[in-house]
Amino acid sequence: VQLQASGGGLVQAGGSLRLSCAASGRTSSIRAMGWFRQAPGKEREFVAGIKWNGGRTLYADSLRGRFTISRDNAKKTMYLQMNSLKPEDTAVYSCAVDTRVITSDFRTGPEFYDYWGQGTLVTVSS
């Protein structure tokens, strides 16, 4: 599976951005997709995830209400709508695919994700 993330950029605090992650290749193996982010000097953290079939979602507690994850199966694309952005949201955002989860639960650790996009930088100015 190949992933292509896009949509990052520079935005003022309070603004919005929508990230996209287009999947190609063996997309039939996708069971869940997720967005992660990594700020300078910090560890990569889970942002949100979505089940490829059914569309169930999971958010990091601190981001619920401001970020919305969605997917378009026909376009094989996942989105992350980010509203009310804050300077602390500044990070490289990466999309990833989980092909092995066999339960209805989400796996939020990056070690469980098999394929990764290249990341897109989001910078929020104060």
Q: What confidence category does residue 9 fall into, taking pLDDT thresholds of 50, 70 and 90?
A: very high
Residue of 26, 28, 16, 2 lying closest to 95 (CA atoms): 2
SS3 of residue 59 by DSSP: strand
Tokens 């930088």 correspond to what residue?
121
CA–CA separation, 85 vs 90, rounded Å?
9
SS3 of residue 123 by DSSP: strand
Q: What is the mean pLDDT of residues 102-122?
A: 91
The token pair at 120 is: 């897109």
SS3 of residue 75 by DSSP: coil
Q: What is the mean pLDDT of residues 118-124?
A: 97
CA–CA separation, 30 vs 65, rounded Å?
26
In tens, the pLDDT along 40-88 reads: 999 999 999 999 988 899 999 999 899 999 999 999 999 999 999 999 9
Q: Provide the pLDDT for residue 15.
A: 98
CA–CA separation, 11 vs 33, rounded Å?
25
